[in-house]
A and B are shown apart, each in its own frame.
Chain A
Amino acid sequence: MRPHSLEIIHGIQSSLITHVMPELRSSFAQAQLMYITMLLNVVAKYWDGGVQALVDDNRKMREIFGQAADVLTSLAGARPAGDIDALAADLRAGAQERPCSLTMTDLMQENNRLRALLARLAPLCERAEADPALAALRPLREKLVHHMREEAQQRAVPILGS
């Protein structure tokens, strides 16, 4: 149905800048209005691309977890500190796709579940840089960093320097 949400958001931004901003006297109120229009950019970005971004991110994390589980299992016998077995089991479970609707709420919930696993895996991979017992994780660190960088860049909305 037209105008759709993105068009409405852009319309609101335009109206705020064109009609409301000139009426504001104080620099404080003008700054608040600027923050609001910038936040609407965030909403606009997520409205259109948010679902696909979460679907993609969830899928890529699952792929990484499957590989990570295999590597961690292969580390049997080279036991650094930490519960590697438990993490391997959780990663293997995490790698399995769960039924999930395409609502933002459900996708975000699944994304947070997977990110919690990533938050456990990432520091372990970081330790691998200096720990020979974890050397098998080094290629995984590279993959992880590459994914996290791409994902962060995809989420980024230019705000600083605006």
Chain B
Amino acid sequence: MREDQLVAYLQHRMPQAQGITVSNLAQIPGGASRETWSFDARWTEGGREETRGLVVRRDPGASLLETERDVEFQVYKALQGTGVPVPEVYWLETDPRWLERPFFVMSRVRGETSPQLLATELYDRVRPKIARQKVEILARIHNLDWQSLGLDLLGAPPSPAHCAEVEIQKWESIMRQDALEPQPVLELALSWLKRHKPVAQRICLVHADYRTGNFLVDEEGVIHGVLDWEMVHLGDPMEDVAWACLRAWRWARDERIGALMDREDWFRQYEECSGIKVDREAVHFWEVLGNVKLATIFITGARSFCEGRSQEIMLALASHVNPELEAELLNLIGG
């Protein structure tokens, strides 16, 4: 991506702007499902000088998971003004003449996402504050009136009893389509999941990747934005509660979920903030499904890499996480 490409695009979108310049263009590491590029833009409009920190989220050649960027964009738009901190989004662009692949542009929000950094002593003082906000924001997401926000475009399961089945079918289908090798542990886990489906207490907006690493935190422990809504859907709130608990996100290498708080504390605060009871059996189900889902995401990336559709080295690395996920699955359901 080049600065002149971005200048041309901004001029197209802001015809009244003059003297547009772009600087400090840099690709941000992580996020193998879409490329993320940060830059600064300056221009003059109506005699005033404007400066904006912006982010481009561009489709990669091939990714961990093919998700609909239009849906992600619509969700960001719908969440503006709801109290859920998300970046402001400006333009969704599908014409490849600008940046070769579809993309959208959003505001750059301050803060740090690195879960490894957030797990260090630098954030010890503010960790309880971060933890509390993490819960509060999730509670707010789960209590949104998604219908009045126009988010039925996501397609709700037929009933709360169907939430589990919808997700099992989704991930089973992707796994079977993309696996390059037999997956006996995932097959065992899918069989277990089919026998242990919970009934959701309600259908709500599910972020589906809500974890430390997907929010922007400043040095005072304020969460300024929740990111990575690519897998957002309507479903069981326990899915998000469980996803945060996955061993894969225990960045401090201890039992604290997301390196922030212990499990019971997470549950207790979530119940307090949301008014939704934590159904522990349902959380167990969704934790198993979460590990199947994560393993499947990495399988998809492995296929992209092995077939040469992507040379992203992170896809090759990520697939080698699967033995850890398999061991965790067998601990969860092994008995």
Contacts and interface: CB of A to CB of B under 8 A. Distances in A.
Interface stretch (A12-20, A70-78, A89-97, A142-150): A142-150
Interface in A118-135: 118-123, 125-127, 129-130
A148 B188 contact: yes
A146 B185 CA distance: 11
A152 B184 CA distance: 11
Interface residues of A, number: 40
A27 B29 contact: yes
B326 A38 contact: no
A39 to B, nearest CB: 5
A27 B253 contact: no
B187 A159 contact: no
Contact of B27 (A28, A121, A126, A145): A28
A39 B316 contact: yes
Interface string B320-335: 1101101100110011
Given A39-B313, A122-B188, A115 B182 contact: yes
29 contacts: A35-B313, A35-B317, A36-B313, A38-B317, A39-B320, A42-B320, A112-B181, A115-B182, A119-B184, A120-B187, A121-B184, A122-B184, A122-B187, A122-B188, A126-B195, A127-B195, A145-B334, A146-B334, A148-B326, A149-B327, A149-B330, A152-B330, A155-B323, A157-B323, A159-B317, A159-B318, A159-B324, A160-B324, A161-B250
6 nearest CB pairs, A to B: A31-B29, A123-B191, A126-B191, A155-B323, A118-B184, A122-B188
Interface of A: 26-28, 30-32, 35-36, 38-39, 42, 112, 115-116, 118-123, 125-127, 129-130, 142, 144-146, 148-149, 152-153, 155-161
